[in-house]
Amino acid sequence: MNYNICAYLIYLALMVFIIVYVGRYFYTNGRIFIISLLNNDVETADHINKLLLIAYYLFNIGYACIKLKHWQKVTNIEMLFSSLSLNMGILILILAVTHYFNMLIIYYLSKSKSFSRTNKTFQL
pLDDT tens readout for residues 5-51: 999 999 999 999 999 999 999 899 989 888 888 888 899 889 989 99
Amino acid in position 25? Y
Residues recorded for the chain: 124
Q: Which amino acid belongs to residue 86?
A: L
Predicted TM-score of the model (pTM): 0.76
pLDDT digits (tens, 9 = 90+) for 42-91: 998 899 899 989 999 999 999 988 988 888 888 889 999 999 999 999 98
Distance CA 56, CA 99 (A): 10
The predicted structure's pLDDT at residue 54: 93
6 neighbors 80 (Cβ within 8 angstroms): yes
Alpha-helix runs per DSSP H in the chain: 4-37, 42-67, 77-111, 113-120
Report the C-alpha gap between 108 and 91 in whole angstroms: 26
